[in-house]
Structure 1
Amino acid sequence: MFRYLVVVGILASLSAQNYLIKFSRYRDGLSHANVTTVRSAENGLIWIGTESSLNQFDSKDYYRIGLEAGLTDDYISALAIDDNGNIWIGTHNGLNLHQRNNHHILKYLSSDNANSLTNNSIQTIYIALDGSAWIGTERGLNHWTNDGFERFIAKPDLGFTLRNDDILSLIQIDSNTLLIGTNGGGLELMDIKNYRFHRISGISAKKITDLEASRDGGIWISSAENGLFHYSPKSDSFQAIKDNVFKSYRLTSVTEDEFGYLWVGTEFSGLVSYHKQSGKIKNYQFQADNLNSISSNEIHDITTDPAGNVWIATSNGLSKIHRKEHLFKHYMISHSSKS
């Protein structure tokens, strides 16, 4: 069962389009089983990207925003929440900004305009320390400010430019340094002030699937073919983590909780937990005869909420691990909207 809340707005913004936004409320589940990304807001809301629309979950009801609500596309590929609680929504066809204060949505699409996106296939979004947004696409890095977009395209023949512009992951090391994970080109560093790039040679991985801050000031790096790494900006050094374990998996995502656990998602082998202090490793895999097992072995994204629980986006719904018991609770597709 659901009902609609319709809000109409007329907005003007550089390289942004006008919109009509419509929320639909459901009590009985997600809009699609394939959960592509998940983020937790400070107010306790869980934002869930799926193959068919964005879902907001408030612990009781699901609210959906999709193509019919004004988004540029139904397939949600990336999410980020800024300091004002606004939701940045990346899709396979453009970027959207859901404004918290008025529920307006701004839509950004690639065009011939130099202040627009380089490409409409959004793969990652990172909110910078100054409140601006970095957007990685299948072809190009984009920096959003109130003045529009700055574009960065690979020009390998020129020195100090981006060498690979298929961007999968982003994180800021300090106010002037952006770390960039690419699909096939490894890691690159950007000097933000001087617009200069250089490739990092201290890591063998070429497909960098996730970059996440560690609690010691470093950065966790997951790769599709070479395992898990920790990068220390202070010493500019890399450490391979449990090479004999993680190198055997195709890693998709990583996050660190407040209890000293690393949670690592894999492409086909479930979820792996690693306790840093004890060195203990556990692999959680789907078991058809066990309702308390993870809902799928195909992990797309991981995040933690303010209470310390871990949320896992999978190809068969959303799973939550309780912070103490490490038991799974599942959030699945609505029977009334199954596609």
Structure 2
Amino acid sequence: MIVTCFRRALVASLALFLVFESRISAQEQLHLTAFGNTEGLSQNSIYSVIKDHKGLMWFATQDGLNKYDGYKVSVYKYRIGDRRALPSNFITSLAEDKAGDLWVGTRLNGLSRFNRSADNFTTFRHFPANPSSISSDKVQVVYRDRADNLWIGTGNGLNLFASKTGQFLRYYPAGEAGGYTANSVSAIYEDKNRNLWIGTAEGLFLFNRGSGHFTSYQEKSVSVDFDDAVNAITEDSRARIWLGTNTGLKLLDRGSKAFAILRSLLIFCLQL
């Protein structure tokens, strides 16, 4: 398998490929083609990449949303005074829902849905007086689960979007709203048993969708250099949970809740 890691603001090329399992034979050739602003991208720092149901490639950058149809790149950006444009050029995460709509997370300006027929955007913002609005305008990850639910990880909590009402249900790993590091949700992953794993700035949590309860899988360390932050989560063919963190790859032992650290390397994205 290939693990594709997009290293935020650190790599000025489109992708870094890591060979992760021995199933790739020595005879196979991997060819990488550079694709950046010289090829039409609006900016070279890539935070998220998806291929939609039409085969179009979408790239989230620090300077706009880019669409590639195999021939040319189209760029969507913020426009002053245009409520149907993107609310920000700094795009952090992308996901496609069951209906084929593209969802766009921004760094500080909320969540947007791309309306394909009109070629414009509808934006959802945080409103302190409205508990059904998104819990924070700092969107860090957008994720679609197997039941086609749309989950949004923000700087202040996990959100579930209710498509029928256009409202958001809020969940807080820290137990309550506020500036707790545990509420900064940076990764979401549903495993083969439909468990929903949540990566935060304060470690890994298992979320019970029925009760709304979070179970912590935090490490314990007295080291001053210790960092709990989880940037990426995935599962291998043996149902093992892997984490991409600021201090390397970590492998979870579910029984003991202990972690094995494989390598000291900053990792932001994992996909098996």
1:133 corresponds to 2:102? yes
- Closer/same/farther in 2, CA of residues 192 and 59 from structure 1, 3 Å limit: farther
1:259 corresponds to 2:238? yes
1:54 corresponds to 2:23? no
C-alpha separation in 2, matches of 1:149 and 1:72: 19
Which residue matches 2:186? 209
Q: Quick check: which has more Rg, 1 or 2?
A: 1
Which residue matches 1:197? 168
- Closer/same/farther in 2, CA of residues 141 and 35 from structure 1, 3 Å limit: closer
**Cα deviation 1:124-152 (Å, max 9, x = unaligned):** 11121222111110111011131321111
Higher relative contact order (CA 8 A, sep 6+): 1
164, 167, 178: which one aligns with 2:139? 167
- Relative to the length of structure 2, the TM-score reads 0.79
Which residue matches 2:65? 95
Paired letter, 1:52: A
Q: Is the 2:6–2:16 contact (alpha carbons within 8 Å) kept by the matching residues of 1?
A: no
Which residue matches 1:229? 205
- After alignment, is 79-88 or 149-158 more displaced? 79-88
59, 62, 69: which one aligns with 2:39? 69
C-alpha separation in 2, matches of 1:83 and 1:75: 24
Which residue matches 1:271? 249
Q: 5 Å matches for 1:1-339?
A: 35-36=6-7, 51-55=11-15, 59-99=29-69, 102-111=70-79, 112-138=81-107, 139-146=109-116, 147=118, 148-173=120-145, 177-183=149-155, 185-201=156-172, 203-204=174-175, 205-225=182-202, 227-241=203-217, 243-244=219-220, 249-267=228-246, 269-276=247-254, 281-286=259-264, 297-304=265-272
Q: Is the 2:186–2:200 contact (alpha carbons within 8 Å) kept by the matching residues of 1?
A: yes
Could you tell me which runs of 5 or more consecutive residues in structure 1 were left unpaired when the two chains were aligned. 1-33, 38-48, 287-296, 305-339
Greater percentage in strand: 1
Shift of residue 200, structure 1, vs aligned partner: 1.3
C-alpha separation in 2, matches of 1:59 and 1:143: 38
**Cα deviation 1:44-98 (Å, max 9, x = unaligned):** xxxxx96323259794322122112111112112212223443210000000112
Which residue matches 2:178? none
C-alpha separation in 1, matches of 2:189 and 2:173: 18
Could you tell me which runs of 5 or more consecutive residues in structure 2 were left unpaired when the two chains were aligned. 18-27, 176-181
- Relative to the length of structure 1, the TM-score reads 0.64
SS at match of 1:117: coil
C-alpha separation in 2, matches of 1:56 and 1:207: 25
- Closer/same/farther in 2, CA of residues 258 and 85 from structure 1, 3 Å limit: farther
Query: Alignment length, in residue pairs?
Result: 244
RMSD: 2.8
